[in-house]
Chain A
């Protein structure tokens, strides 16, 4: 079975600074997708970024980028120029060909002034 591990239950970063959230996963599949979802206090799940495992280039979406290391099964999220609105729970997730997401336990990020 696939597992997703987020080893940082909570993190804090000052506004305008950069923070990196860690994620590791375990799978025997070769073709899969990785995601970072954001869950603000409103509870709404919002897709932040997606990475296809067959692509070597790291995905980037504005201030959000990933460091995908397939051999190490690592998928970290970097948030640059952190903003107060980035305060949320962040979930790493894995999806194989069956398109069912397996989620990590989340990292609570607090952005402070």
Chain B
């Protein structure tokens, strides 16, 4: 059971380039999330999804896009990369019943992105 898998683990981008961070989970979780962690800070929510075809913004969505075409995959797209997007990105998933809350989040190992 692989859990939550993120690729790539490391990437260096030039300003203005675009890229996609991939995230896949094999636990049949309905909820998926993207967080970013800046040095010395906690995690901040970028986007989340409550199921295939449904996504919503989190606290810091500017400069990012997501899609959720399947239950398993939740890619994060960076358009026109900027130095402010240098961070560690975490994908997570959880299973929640309708109206439920408080489920444990299972995290990937993180992707370190540097924009120069």
Closest to B43 in A: A103
B42 engages A100 (CB within 8 Å): no
From B16-24, B68-76, B100-108, give the one contacting chain A: B100-108
> A99 with B101: in contact, given A43-B109, A43-B110, A45-B107 (CB under 8 Å)?
yes
Q: Which A residues between 67 and 113 are near B, CB-CB below 8 angstroms?
A: 91, 93, 95-106
Complex partner residue of A101 from B45, B99, B110, CB under 8 angstroms: B45
Task: Identify whether the interface residues of B are mostly helix, strand, loop, or mixed.
Answer: loop
**A33-B101, A44-B109, A52-B102 known; A100-B33 Cβ under 8 A:** yes
Please state if B42 and A104 are interface contacts (CB–CB under 8 Å): yes
**Does B40 sit within 8 A of A, measured CB to CB?**
yes
Inter-chain CA distance A45–B102, complex, in Å, is 16
Contact between chains at B90 and A45 (CB < 8 Å): yes
The reply to whether B110 and A97 form a contact with Cβ atoms under 8 Å apart is no
A43-B116 Cα distance, complex, nearest whole Å: 23
If the complex has contacts A43-B88, A45-B90, A100-B33, are A105 and B105 also in contact, measured as CB distance less than 8 A?
Answer: no
A96 vs B103: C-alpha distance in the bound complex, in angstroms? Answer: 11
Query: CA separation between A104 and B102, bound complex, in Å?
Result: 17
Most buried by B among A47, A93, A100, A105: A100
Fill in one digit per residue for B37-65: 1 if any A CB lies within 8 Å of its CB, else 0: 00011111100100000000010000000
Cα-based distance from A99 to B50 in the complex (angstroms)? 10
Starting from the known contacts A103-B43, A106-B40, 5 additional A-B residue pairs (CB-CB under 8 Å) come to A43-B109, A44-B110, A99-B96, A99-B100, A101-B43
